[in-house]
Structure 1
Amino acid sequence: MGKQLKVENCIQQCNMAEKNNNEFCEEDQQNLQILYEKFVILNKDLLRFGVSIVDLKKVCFRRKKLDNAVKERQKSVRYSGVIVAITIVGVVLISILLKIVFDSLMKTTLGTRCLLPNNYFIWEATRPVTDCNMCKDVKNILIFENITREEFRNYAYSSRPMLVKGAALHWPAMHTFTYNFFKEIYQKTEGAFESVEEECQILTFKTEFKSLEDVFSMPESRVLQKNSEKPWYVGWSNCHPEVLSIMREHYSIPHFLPEDAEHANMDYIFIGYEQGAVMHIDYISRLMWQAQLRGHKTWKLVPPPDCDHVCTGFSFRVEPGDIVLVDTRQWYHDTHIDAGELSLTVSSEYG
């Protein structure tokens, strides 16, 4: 009888150790009670078969060691949870950092503040799937000469790339628009530089320029590409009323566009040498036309990635006086200027 009491005391000590462990849930306690009752019966049987108290204590001590092992395991699990949490936070922070780096890279490479928005990669990732009919069977630029408004009506709002030869040859801008022409306008018009920075956009592409004011501060040798000066190419939009009014005295809306078409209240100037814009699409609201006033430029058009299996890309060359019409919202494009030539274009949107 005394041996049985000692055994029960030993078991109760083990049970007390279990109860002190707050990590066990109610279901575990119930299971433990069932195990305890079976353990008591087992110990009684063992005592009847001559098992000593010392042997039973060893069993109890082993259980305590098991408890400690369980606690260590629980600590390890909690530690692993902390590691996982830190990893998740790290991934989020790295993602934010990569977005900042990506935006900075896009701004440096394409030199744009508004044409490509800050969330450019989100725009691209969420870009609607393209209807590949817009480029299916299109193998080259569609060329017109002396086209009338009536003849152009069927093409006006299509995504088919088009080139109207010589449509701007009669514009005074063919002769009056130069680097110095724009430099003088902006320097003498109050608020003109600020309007580009605050209301419009400046595209500095691969140059080191930070503003339009920097562009018009170049030494003459670089403007004219003398003495092996570094090439430059920039673009900007004009939304200052006075500047825009002066500019539009030298050109007009292309004569073949629909009479009821809506036109943007700002126009774009692109000027410079060698490589123009790198491959991209434009996030603008309307179709685009661009008049080549000086120099020769080669365009390369590539269909959207989701239409690679249906459509093919192609290139075409533009001469002074030509007007290009491309849906740059869908056609990826880049431009290259003939070596040694200054390219100057004016463009706008319609819809």
Structure 2
Amino acid sequence: MAERNNNEFEGKQKNIQILYEKFVILNRDLLNFGVSIEELKEICFKRRKTVHTVQGSQKNAQHSSFIVAVTVVCAVLISILLKIIFDSIIKNTLGTRCLLPNNYFIWEATRPETNCSMCEDVNSVLVFGNVTRDEFSNYAYSSRPMLVKGAALHWPAMKTFTYHFLKEIYQNVEGAYESIEEECQILTFKTEFRSLEDVFAMPESRVLLEEGEKPWYVGWSNCHPDVLAIMREHYTIPHFLPEDAEHAHMDYIFIGYQQGAVMHIDYISRLMWQAQLRGHKTWKLVPPPDCDHICSGISFRVDPGDIVLVDTRQWYHDTHIDAGEMSLTVSSEYG
């Protein structure tokens, strides 16, 4: 895939070079004909037509006609050049994993206007105890942040999911690491890691965040069917979600210390649930900027076994983990 992208990029570069050479030849001919630099700027960059009405002089009439013709040619060439450059940038950007997904400037520029009713009158997280599916049904598709206490305490994952358990899965399942690079996604946040293999290659002292070691926090999506099958033997879809809800074909793991994700919104297609399997995490939610005049931010702390439900497509959020604790969560989408 990388080789194909490189070949496409080289092809685009050759096309740009050809157009550049045509511009050089065109500019040289115009200058030889008597067109000034100022006129060239007006023709090609200010998109103005400089048509001189000259009487009596055949040379000036030809000059004027030539400028009009060149204006059209120049405009066409510029359009082609811009299209090639834009197409090259977009294709190569999309072909680079994690470049676009982590570029919040692009996301923010394309974010649709928010309906502020999603956060109006929300002053705290809505907390449930032993909630049933029927009791939860009125809130299931709401943008209201919710916390279901102890809903995952009975999952085997509360005991079995560890750094070393996840490492063993990826080392033993053929193609597991490759799936992260080719189909899934890894978020390395502020770490120096470049792949999941790097994450699982760190020394034990750093895994445990012993004194002198740098803190780390990463997340990744699991879309390899064999990996997903093994993992889902240790947890289930939260029991309170609607029976007819659609669920994603991939789940997410987030693991590490100290500050988790920085303030951001998620560009995902559905609502999100996240089960806290290890450690304590504090969520901070902030409404979209266009709702600042109506809504206010909230924060809440999550204990092991709790399940958080947040519309992370609309609520800006960051997370902080209790000092010295490793946080491990599993999450997915529904809708």
State the TM bucket, normalised to the shorter chain.
0.7 to 0.9
Equivalent residue in structure 1 for 2:307, among 317, 323, 330: 323
What does 1:136-151 align with in structure 2 at a 5 Å threshold? Answer: 136-151=120-135
Flag structure 1 segments of 5+ consecutive residues without an equivalent: 1-20, 33-87
1:277 counterpart residue number: 261
8 A contact 2:278–2:327 mirrored in 1: yes
TM-score by length of 1: 0.69
Amino acid at match of 1:113: C
Amino acid at match of 1:311: C
1:236 counterpart residue number: 220
What does 1:248-287 align with in structure 2 at a 5 Å threshold? Answer: 248-287=232-271
Equivalent residue in structure 2 for 1:219, among 203, 207, 212: 203
Q: 1:27 to 1:207 in 2, by over 3 A?
A: closer
Amino acid at match of 1:335: T
Q: 1:27 to 1:309 in 2, by over 3 A?
A: same
- Calculate percent identity across the aligned residue pairs: 79
1:299 counterpart residue number: 283
Choose 1 or 2 for highest CA Rg: 1
2:180 counterpart residue number: 196
Amino acid at match of 1:178: T
Cα shift at 1:156 = 0.3
SS in 1 for 2:198: helix
| 1:84-126 deviation line (CA, Å, top 9, x unaligned) | xxxx9xxx9xx99xx99xx9xxx9xxxx817x53764333212
1:113 counterpart residue number: 98
For 2:101 and 2:168, the matched residues in 1 are separated by 30
1:155 counterpart residue number: 139
SS in 2 for 1:347: strand
Judge which range, 252-261 or 122-131, deviates more: 122-131
Stretches of 4+ moved more than 2 A in 1?
Answer: 21-30, 116-123
Amino acid at match of 2:252: Y
For 2:272 and 2:51, the matched residues in 1 are separated by 69
For 2:210 and 2:102, the matched residues in 1 are separated by 36
1:80 counterpart residue number: none
1:50 counterpart residue number: none
8 A contact 2:104–2:264 mirrored in 1: no
Cα shift at 1:346 = 0.2
For 2:180 and 2:269, the matched residues in 1 are separated by 19
Q: 1:133 to 1:241 in 2, by over 3 A?
A: same
| 1:184-229 deviation line (CA, Å, top 9, x unaligned) | 1111111000001101000100000000000000100000011320
Amino acid at match of 1:309: H
Q: 1:187 to 1:312 in 2, by over 3 A?
A: same
TM-score by length of 2: 0.72
Cα shift at 1:127 = 1.4
8 A contact 2:286–2:296 mirrored in 1: yes
For 1:301 and 1:26, the matched residues in 2 are separated by 62
For 1:269 and 1:27, the matched residues in 2 are separated by 71
What does 1:1-351 align with in structure 2 at a 5 Å threshold? Answer: 29=55, 113=98, 117=101, 120-351=104-335
> Which structure: greater helix fraction?
1
Amino acid at match of 1:154: N
For 2:35 and 2:219, the matched residues in 1 are separated by 70
Q: 1:26 to 1:168 in 2, by over 3 A?
A: closer
For 1:118 and 1:345, the matched residues in 2 are separated by 20
Flag structure 2 segments of 5+ consecutive residues without an equivalent: 1-33, 37-49, 58-77
**Aligned residues between the structures:** 265
| 1:246-282 deviation line (CA, Å, top 9, x unaligned) | 1000000000000000000000000000000000000
For 1:277 and 1:143, the matched residues in 2 are separated by 23
Amino acid at match of 1:347: S
2:13 counterpart residue number: none
For 1:279 and 1:308, the matched residues in 2 are separated by 15
